[in-house]
Amino acid sequence: MIDKNSPVPIYHQLEEQIKSQIENGSLEADELIPSEREYAERYQISRMTVRHAINNLVKDGFLHRQKGKGTYVSKQKVEQKLQGLTSFTEDMLERGMTPSSRLLSFEIIPASQPIAHRLGLKENTPVYEIRRIRLADHVPMAVETTYLPANLIKGLTEDIINQSLYKYIEEKLTLNISEASQEIEATSAKDHEVKHLQIEKGSPVLLILRTSYLEDGTPFELVRSAYRADRYKFVHTMKR
């Protein structure tokens, strides 16, 4: 079960083991899992290592602790997936749809004041501007405009943004994407959105403005998306 000589840390092995026992049902919801001391004894590992594993599972909502009693398995939530910061492509694949894009424009422009402000740049700093129609199963889903600081996200090409921008940022540029903040509102479709999304004039659209950050807090991406309200619903979870 636990391989002490494996390069993968013991706490992570135990974590995965408990998680799979929850998922395959051998540990049921509301059930008390073995105590920390029992895990430690059973696998001949330290109790602190067991705590490390269990703490991670508590943080992710799989378990919850009760002092003096023990650690219980939490019920599976209805929306267990589709959380966290994802790209349009990742999002659509999760929903079981086939994502594609139609590129409207791709250029470097000087940042306007509001865009510069949100990206923490000086006005007129060069930024990539990428305008796209996003499709799901070949039907227009959203019109999207992305701004990226050209001095930070270097060497962008059409190929890269057609593949995976996040993958490029994380693997080629070795930058750590940490989090994003979003503003979500409802509006009526503007003229160009009516055209691109093939909807009636005045139809409601879901407007999402996202600012994404690297690990050190630097904003690296600003995305304005206008989604067809009849085809898209934003889903997320949040902690108390």
Identity of the residue, 108 or 114, whose beta carbon is nearer to a copy of itself in the bound complex: 114
Instruction: Please identify which residue in 69, 233, 239, 240 interacts with DNA, judged by CB under 7 A.
Output: 69
Could you tell which of a copy of itself, DNA, none binds residue 24, using a CB distance below 5 to 8 A set by kind? none
Report residue 105 as tokens. 């424009």
Residue 233 in the binding site for DNA (CB under 7 A): no
How far apart CA 167 and CA 164 sit, in angstroms, is 5
Q: Smallest distance, Å, CB 77 to a copy of itself? A: 6
Element (H, E) at 205: strand 204-214
Cβ 123 vs Cβ 109: under 8 Å: no
Residue 19 in the binding site for DNA (CB under 7 A): no
Identity of the residue, 109 or 214, whose beta carbon is nearer to a copy of itself in the bound complex: 214
Instruction: Please identify which residue in 1, 24, 66, 155 interacts with DNA, judged by CB under 7 A.
Output: 66
Identity of the residue, 156 or 214, whose beta carbon is nearer to a copy of itself in the bound complex: 214
Q: Which residues contact 142 (CB under 8 A, 6 or more apart)?
A: 88, 133, 134, 197, 225, 226, 227, 228, 232
Q: Smallest distance, Å, CB 164 to a copy of itself? A: 14
One-letter identity of residue 140: P
- Quick count: other Cβ atoms within 10 Å of Cβ 53? 24
CA-nearest of 164, 156, 161 to 126 is 156
- Quick count: other Cβ atoms within 10 Å of Cβ 22? 20
Residue 38 in the binding site for DNA (CB under 7 A): yes
Could you tell which of a copy of itself, DNA, none binds residue 9, using a CB distance below 5 to 8 A set by kind? DNA
Q: Which residues contact 116 (CB under 8 A, 6 or more apart)?
A: 122, 123, 124, 125, 127
How far apart CA 72 and CA 12 sit, in angstroms, is 19
Q: Which residues contact 90 (CB under 8 A, 6 or more apart)?
A: 166
Instruction: Please identify which residue in 16, 31, 70, 157 interacts with DNA, judged by CB under 7 A.
Output: 70
Q: Smallest distance, Å, CB 19 to DNA? A: 16
Could you tell which of DNA, a copy of itself, none binds residue 25, using a CB distance below 5 to 8 A set by kind? none
Could you tell which of a copy of itself, DNA, none binds residue 155, using a CB distance below 5 to 8 A set by kind? none
Could you tell which of a copy of itself, DNA, none binds residue 83, using a CB distance below 5 to 8 A set by kind? a copy of itself
How far apart CA 127 and CA 67 sit, in angstroms, is 52
Could you tell which of DNA, a copy of itself, none binds residue 49, using a CB distance below 5 to 8 A set by kind? DNA
Span interacting with DNA, options 2-10, 92-100, 103-111, 201-209, rule CB under 7 A: 2-10
Query: In the complex, which residues of this chain contact DNA (CB under 7 A)?
Result: 4, 7, 9-12, 33, 35-38, 44-49, 51-52, 65-71
